[in-house]
């Protein structure tokens, strides 16, 4: 059929020249020579040495979960057994004053100091002591931003009635931010164990700074 085509179309069906011959890059199968296959007898001494090395398996996530639960349970049992023996609140130098005359002020602005608390709470009665709790181990936490204090304080009045009247009058200033907690049992009840101690409110640290007048109060009740 192609011989009947005109010359201009016949040139399109002309085969290309054959490829240039090059020597193969690999050897022929009959010329190949692989490594000599030997027995495993030479490796037996190495296997004996491997058995002497103690095997340390990698801890899986299930084992890690069980280990953490076990350690947490052991720590709780240790706290129940050894905690009451080492719990001596009367020997704590930071604890001074009567527990039933003490107000716990929480969610403080980090810029607030003792003078601000004295100006805010001193109008309800004479104050015996004001203590803003500060972190004494801040130097052991280099990666954590240091703060002036922990965000809560203790206000000890000279008279108990001043403390109890304080929480009633402070509602007109702070409105719904006033809350009450059970008896401050840290050194107000002898039968309280450290695990059941309600010494501080379990509030997370605020990620923002509250005004100095927006605070929480925890009144001590008998």
Choice between 123 and 211, residue whose per-residue pLDDT is larger: 123
Q: What's the CA angle centered on 150, arms 145 and 152, to 5 degrees? A: 155
- pTM for the whole structure: 0.47
| pLDDT for 67 | 96
Domains, the chain, in order of start with CATH, read 92-219 (3.30.70.330)
Single out the residue of 185, 182, 186 nearest to residue 89, CA to CA: 186
pLDDT at 206: 40
How many angstroms separate the CA atoms of 219 and 121, rounded?
Answer: 13
Dist CA 97 CA 165 (whole Å): 18
Summarised one tens digit per residue, pLDDT across range 24-63 is 888 888 888 888 888 888 888 888 888 777 888 899 999 9
pLDDT in tens, 113-141: 898 888 888 888 899 989 998 888 877 88
Enclosing H/E stretch for 32: none
Q: Residue 1: what pLDDT?
A: 66
């Amino acid at each position: 059929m192609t011989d009947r085509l005109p010359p201009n179309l016949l040139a399109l069906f002309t085969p290309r020249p054959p490829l240039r011959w090059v020597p193969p890059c690999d050897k022929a199968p009959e010329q190949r020579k692989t490594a000599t296959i030997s027995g495993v007898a030479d490796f037996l001494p190495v296997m004996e040495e491997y058995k002497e090395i103690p095997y340390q398996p990698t801890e899986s996530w299930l084992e890690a979960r069980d280990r953490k639960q076990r350690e947490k349970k052991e720590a709780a049992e240790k706290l129940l057994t050894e905690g009451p023996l080492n719990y001596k609140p009367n020997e704590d130098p930071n604890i001074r004053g009567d527990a039933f005359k003490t107000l716990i002020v929480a969610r403080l602005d980090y810029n607030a100091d003792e003078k601000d608390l004295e100006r805010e709470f001193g109008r309800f009665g004479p104050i015996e002591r004001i203590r803003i709790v500060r972190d004494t181990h801040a130097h052991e936490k280099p990666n954590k931003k240091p703060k002036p204090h922990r965000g809560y304080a203790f206000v000890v009045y000279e008279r108990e009635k001043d403390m109890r009247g304080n929480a009633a009058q402070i509602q007109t200033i702070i409105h719904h931010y006033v809350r009450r907690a059970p008896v401050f049992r840290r050194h107000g009840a002898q039968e309280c164990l450290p695990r059941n101690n309600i010494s501080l409110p379990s509030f997370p640290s605020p990620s923002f700074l509250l005004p100095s007048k927006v605070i929480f109060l925890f009144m001590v009740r008998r």
